[in-house]
């Protein structure tokens, strides 16, 4: 949440900062601002709302200052108004600070600083930082680096900050504690950003700051220190991915492009994790997950922690692991787990799922699991696995091993292709576990592997045959205020995911229920104005799911069915059918989620909403 950028070099900073902020807008878009140093003074420009409002206020031709910082905000403390936009300054407007995170002790600091004569102009937690740095100078700090260092010792919470000062016009100071911050190294110019896409068009040489580290960027180079002031030697690395991946490539929205990239995500995962030449006669494992043996040894329990869409992928994962590998698997919201973790049980694998790798709750849950299992009997030692789309992210530095979801950069706030990558991770993990433990027959394994291989072309069939139809259907949701999604078994999480997608981008109230639960209360909500979208795929709960859908129809609900293409009875049961190719029930979530994504996308687009940047949301949730 919130994106920060910084630049020091020889080029005009403002355009570099704004172009960096464009790439970070997915992290928040309540307001934006930039500060530069012009002829010994700070020039700070801020605007409420999306970045284009800031862009309209900047006169790029007149300010050629070669140093500056910028920010795009997701409001935590204080309304999304211009006076709360970053950068924030000290009373004399000599220092400017941008921050991503939350300063938890800002109230005490603010009261203390007010007593010392500092004048506050915003409702934010961040504003204490420039005043605090200013106070550190008043108390004797003799360089910007020292003043910032003294200030960060007084801050508690998770934060990444960038600081410039009109009195130190040739340096940019950074500090990182539990929020991402990466430095970009050019020739005679240096960058910083919350995420690499903001700087990749200028340099591919990067240096991520670690927790508890600070950096001083000048035109001569980068110095990294710990908060305690010890110098740190770090070797930069080169990133290889292509910036074209973050363009829309002819699609109207990133979300549409990302929905269409899902066959490729599945193909990439198949190539990465499956020996495509494997046959049941082979004595070798078909899987190439490359996890350490310590993950598997005497494994008795699995627990999964995640948030939002990642949690839904984990729910499918629990189903797969229990069904295929027969390992009891618990799943919990990471935000609940971190404050009420279950009692410790031995030989447990903990899986944190997060596409961004930086969701604060998921990160905290995994860290808690790591620390509470230290110094215990070896069978209680932690085994930590991250399923993530960002192999350079914070969670990867906490866990023992990672499964990369290989989805490529996802920009749309609504997760689609990363969910697909997460599902793939769980297919391969659960099958790998089942194969090792002998809980699956070679014939069944071969059957599922064959099914996995045809999934990309089956997704393509849905995209080719259903999209226009779903676009037309979306018009019937013009006046919809509430919708219900139903699924059973392995498709219950897909009902939840369908409801989440609809809520977050079309602002229609939607709930997902296990079909069998409807009659225990939620059925009272149904009438002709509440459409019901039911997933009824052939398999062990088919008949039950059909009966539950009919119960909804009997209450006058307009009934949509996500059904198998071969289901000839479907048109009699449902008012509208959304057919997907016939598929093994175990693999069906990969297909049933596609109509859900297309529906929510087209309903939101038809309503003229901002599909990629829905209100109140951000792509990376780095605060609690
Ligand atoms: O980066 P993460 O996977 O940890 O993010 C978790 C949720 O914030 C995320 O899935 C959110 O629910 C999405 N907006 C869903 O589309």
The model's pLDDT over 345-402, given as tens digits with 9 standing for 90+, comes to: 999 999 999 999 989 999 999 999 999 999 899 999 999 999 999 998 889 989 999 9
Q: Is 619 a catalytic residue?
A: yes
Beta bridge partners of 158: 102
Q: Is the beta carbon of 505 within 6 A of some atom in ligand 1?
A: no
Among the listed residues 23, 257, 417, 619, the single catalytic one is: 619
User: Both tokens of residue 201?
Assistant: 């068009």
Task: Classify 100 as helix, strand or coil.
Answer: strand
193-211 pLDDT, tens per residue?
999 989 999 999 999 999 9
Q: What is the dihedral of CA 290, 294, 296, 302, to 10 degrees?
A: -110
Q: Is the beta carbon of 416 within 6 A of some atom in ligand 1?
A: no
- Please identify, by atom number, the ligand 1 atom nearest to the C-alpha of residue 416: 16
The angle at the Cα of 617, spanning 615 to 621, to the nearest 5 degrees, equals 170
Among the listed residues 2, 192, 269, 307, the single catalytic one is: 2
The residue nearest atom 2 of ligand 1, judged by CA position, is: 354
pLDDT, greater one: 579 or 246: 579
- Please identify, by atom number, the ligand 1 atom nearest to the C-alpha of residue 306: 4
Q: What is the pLDDT at residue 26?
A: 85
CA distance 493 to 476: 25
CB 132 within 8 A of CB 109: yes
**Ligand 1: centre distance to CA 230 (Å):** 36
294-308 average pLDDT score:
97
Lowest mean per-residue pLDDT among 32-36, 178-182, 301-305: 178-182
What stretch of H or E contains 101?
Answer: strand 95-103
**Omega before 87 cis (within 30°)?**
yes
Ligand 1 site-directed mutation target among 26, 254, 309, 600, most atoms within 8 Å of CB: 309
Q: How many CB atoms lie within 10 A of CB 332?
A: 18
What are the distances in angstroms from CA 13 to CA 17, 35, 131?
A: 6, 9, 24
pLDDT, greater one: 76 or 245: 76
Q: What is the pLDDT at residue 246?
A: 66
- Please identify, by atom number, the ligand 1 atom nearest to the C-alpha of residue 414: 16
**Ligand 1: centre distance to CA 308 (Å):** 5
Q: Is the beta carbon of 359 within 6 A of some atom in ligand 1?
A: yes
**Ligand 1: centre distance to CA 289 (Å):** 24
Confidence class of residue 95 from pLDDT cuts 50, 70 and 90? very high
**Ligand 1: centre distance to CA 304 (Å):** 15
CA distance 455 to 427: 12
Phi, psi of 456 (to 5 degrees): -55, -45
The residue nearest atom 9 of ligand 1, judged by CA position, is: 308
The CA-based diameter of the chain, rounded to the nearest angstrom, is 81
CB 19 within 8 A of CB 184: no
CA distance 498 to 502: 6
- Please identify, by atom number, the ligand 1 atom nearest to the C-alpha of residue 356: 1
Q: Is the beta carbon of 422 within 6 A of some atom in ligand 1?
A: no
């Amino acid at each position: 949440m919130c994106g920060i950028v910084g630049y020091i070099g020889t080029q005009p900073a403002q355009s570099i900062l704004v172009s960096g902020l464009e790439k970070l807008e997915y992290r928040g878009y309540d307001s934006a601002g930039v500060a530069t140093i012009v002829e010994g003074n700070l020039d700070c420009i801020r605007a409420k709302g999306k970045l284009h409002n800031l862009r309209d206020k900047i006169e790029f031709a007149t300010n050629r200052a070669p140093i500056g910082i910028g920010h795009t905000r997701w409001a935590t403390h204080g309304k999304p108004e211009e006076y709360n936009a970053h950068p924030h300054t000290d009373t004399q407007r000599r220092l400017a600070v941008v921050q991503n995170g939350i300063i938890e002790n800002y109230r005490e600091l603010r009261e203390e600083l007010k007593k010392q004569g500092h004048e506050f102009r915003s409702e934010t937690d961040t504003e204490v930082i420039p005043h605090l740095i200013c106070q550190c100078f008043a108390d004797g700090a003799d360089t910007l680096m020292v003043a910032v260092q003294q200030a960060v010792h007084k801050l508690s919470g998770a934060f990444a900050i960038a600081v410039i000062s009109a009195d130190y016009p040739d340096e940019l100071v950074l500090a990182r504690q539990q929020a991402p911050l990466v430095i970009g190294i050019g020739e005679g110019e240096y960058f910083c950003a919350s995420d690499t896409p903001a700087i990749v068009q200028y340099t591919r040489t990067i240096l991520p700051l670690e927790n508890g580290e600070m950096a001083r960027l000048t035109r001569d180079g980068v110095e990294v220190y710990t908060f305690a002031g010890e110098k740190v030697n770090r070797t930069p690395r080169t990133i290889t991915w292509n910036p074209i991946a973050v363009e829309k490539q002819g699609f109207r929205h990133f979300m549409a492009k990302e929905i269409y990239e899902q066959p490729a995500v599945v193909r990439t995962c198949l190539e990465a994790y499956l020996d495509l030449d494997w046959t049941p006669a082979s004595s070798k494992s078909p899987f190439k997950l490359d996890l350490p043996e310590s993950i598997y040894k005497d494994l008795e329990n699995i627990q999964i922690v995640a948030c939002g869409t990642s949690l839904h992928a984990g729910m499918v994962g629990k189903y797969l692991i229990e069904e295929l590998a027969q390992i009891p698997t618990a799943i919990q919201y990471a935000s609940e787990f971190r404050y009420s973790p279950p009692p410790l049980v031995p030989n447990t694998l903990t899986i944190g799922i997060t596409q961004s790798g930086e969701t604060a709750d998921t990160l905290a849950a995994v860290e808690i699991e790591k620390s509470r299992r230290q110094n215990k009997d070896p069978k209680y030692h932690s085994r930590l696995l991250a399923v993530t789309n960002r192999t350079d992210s914070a969670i990867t530095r906490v866990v023992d091993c990672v499964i990369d979801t290989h989805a490529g950069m996802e920009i749309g706030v609504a997760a689609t292709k990363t969910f697909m990558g997460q599902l793939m991770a769980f297919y391969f993990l659960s099958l790998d576990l089942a194969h090792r433990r002998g809980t699956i027959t070679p014939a069944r394994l071969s059957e599922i592997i064959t099914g996995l291989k045809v999934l990309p072309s089956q997704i393509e069939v849905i995209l080719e045959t259903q999209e226009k139809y779903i676009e037309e259907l979306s018009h019937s949701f013009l006046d919809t205020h509430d919708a219900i999604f139903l699924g059973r078994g392995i498709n219950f999480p897909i009902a939840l995911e369908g409801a989440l997608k609809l809520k977050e981008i079309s602002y229609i109230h939607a709930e997902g229920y296990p079909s069998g639960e409807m009659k225990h209360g939620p059925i009272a909500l149904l009438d002709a104005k509440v459409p019901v979208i039911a997933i009824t795929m052939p398999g062990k709960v088919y008949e039950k799911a059909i009966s539950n859908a009919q119960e909804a129809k009997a209450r006058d609900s307009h009934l949509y069915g996500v059904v198998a293409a071969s289901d000839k009875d479907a048109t009699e049961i449902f008012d509208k059918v959304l057919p997907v190719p016939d598929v093994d029930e175990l693999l069906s979530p990969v297909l049933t989620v596609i109509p859900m994504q297309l529906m929510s996308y087209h309903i939101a687009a038809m309503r003229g909403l901002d599909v990629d940047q829905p209100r109140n949301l951000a792509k990376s949730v780095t605060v609690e």
